Amino acid sequence: MSLICRHVEAMDGYVPGEQPHFPDMVKLNTNENPYPPSPRVGEVLAKADWKALRLYPDPVFAKVRSTIAALHGCRPEQVFVGNGSDEILSLVTRAFVESDGTIGYFDPTYSLYSVLAQIRDVKGKPFALRADMTCPTPPADWSDVFIWTNPNAPTSLMAAPAQLADFARTFKGVLLIDEAYGDFAPTDCMALATAPDNANTLVMRTLSKSFSLAGIRFGYCVGPEALIGALMKIKDSYNMDALAQAVGLAALEDLDWMHANRDRILATRERLTAELRKRGWDVPDSASNFIFAEPPAGQSAEALFLGLRERHIFVRYFPGPVTGNRLRITVGTDAETDRLLAVLQDL
C-alpha cells in the first residue's frame, strides 16, 4: 500500500520555467521585468531591523490591505493578499470548489490551473480558444470556478472587459480574472470586482511582473467581501511574511516608478514586434510584457528555441497543437532585444 494519496502519486506536478544562472545570459523565459523595483524597496530593505524578525508578521496585513483598497477605491475587507498570486489560485480552488466540483480555464492558458485541479483531485475543464487564439465566452454552467487570464498567457491577447462583464453576469460559479499582466494592457476589469452588485467575480494582480518583484512573493485579489472572507478563513495564519509586506507596500506606494518601467517595456515591445514582422514572423498585437511569435514558414520554433538556448538566450517553448509553432518571448531591455534579434538573424 502506498503512503502517498493516489491522486498525488498519479500527477506530475507543475514545472516552473527554467531559472538558469549564466553571467552572460539573456533571460526572456518567465516574463520577469528587466528593470529593478522601486528604489523605495531598497530603502526598506536597507533599513530593515533584522532583530524584529523574531516577531510574527501582521496576520491580516492591515496596512497593505488598506493601501490596495485605496488604490482601487474599495473597502479593505474586499482585498486579499497572498504569497504570490499562485497561493491565491490555490486557495480559490479550495474555498470555492466542492470535492465533486470542477475548475474551468482556457486551453491553452497558464498551465498551473490544470495542476491545481489535479492537486484538489477535482475535474479540470479546459475550454478551447478560437482558431485565432482569442477567448470565446464559456457556457454559464461550465464549471464551479472559471479562471480567465486576461491578457491571456501564452497568447498575449486581451479580451474586452465588456465580454468579461457579460460572462460575469451569467456565470453561475466564481469567476477569477487573473490580471497578472494587466498593467501592460490598455484596459482592465478591476471595475467588475469593485462594482456594488458584484457577488461572484474576483480580479487578481501580482507584483511579480509590472512591479519587478518576482523574487518576493506578493499577489492580491479584490472582490466581494463574502468571497474575500472565505479566503481569509482558510489561508495559513501568517501567509505574508514581514519582509514581503514591507517591500510590497513600498512598491505599491511608488506607482510612478512602475509606470515608467512599463512605458519602457511597451516601447521595446513595439520595436521587437515591428522588427520580427519585417522579417516575416507572425506576431499578434500583444497586451502583455511578452509576445507570442511564429517564425516564417520553413523555420521551426523548437529549433530556434534550442539554438537560442545554446547561446544563453532563454525564451519559452510550449509543445502542442496550438502553441508548438510559436515562441513566447518576454520583452527585455533594449540591449537584450538587440542581442536576441542579432542571434535570431544568425540562426
Q: Taking the complex as a whole, how short is the minimal distance between the CB of residue 342 and ligand PLP, in angstroms?
A: 27
HSE of 190, CA atoms in CB hemisphere, 13 A? 23
Q: Which is nearer to ligand PLP, 31 or 268 (CB)?
A: 31
Q: Which is nearer to ligand PLP, 217 or 339 (CB)?
A: 217
Q: Which is nearer to ligand PLP, 219 or 224 (CB)?
A: 219
* Element at 122 (helix H, strand E): none
Q: Which is nearer to ligand PLP, 208 or 337 (CB)?
A: 208
Q: Which is nearer to ligand PLP, 159 or 344 (CB)?
A: 159
Q: Taking the complex as a whole, how short is the minimal distance between the CB of residue 112 and ligand PLP, in angstroms?
A: 7
d(CA 253, CA 325): 41
Q: Taking the complex as a whole, how short is the minimal distance between the CB of residue 224 and ligand PLP, in angstroms?
A: 21
Q: Taking the complex as a whole, how short is the minimal distance between the CB of residue 83 and ligand PLP, in angstroms?
A: 8
Q: Which of 183, 185, 203 is nearest to 195 (CA)?
A: 203
The packing angle between helices 112-120 and 85-95, to 10°, is: 40
Q: Taking the complex as a whole, how short is the minimal distance between the CB of residue 347 and ligand PLP, in angstroms?
A: 26
User: Which residues of this protein are in contact with ligand PLP, per CB under 6 A?
Assistant: 31, 84-86, 110, 149, 153, 178, 180, 206, 208, 214, 219
Q: Which is nearer to ligand PLP, 120 or 209 (CB)?
A: 209
Tell the residue number behind the cell numbers 477535482, with chain if given: 122
Q: Taking the complex as a whole, how short is the minimal distance between the CB of residue 296 and ligand PLP, in angstroms?
A: 27
Q: Are 133 and 157 in contact (CB under 8 A)?
A: yes
The secondary structure of 150-215 as a DSSP string is: SS-TTT-----HHHHHHHHHH-SSEEEEE-TTGGGSS---HHHHH-TT-SSEEEEEESSSTTS-TT
The packing angle between helices 255-278 and 242-252, to 10°, is: 80
Strands 145-149 and 174-178: parallel
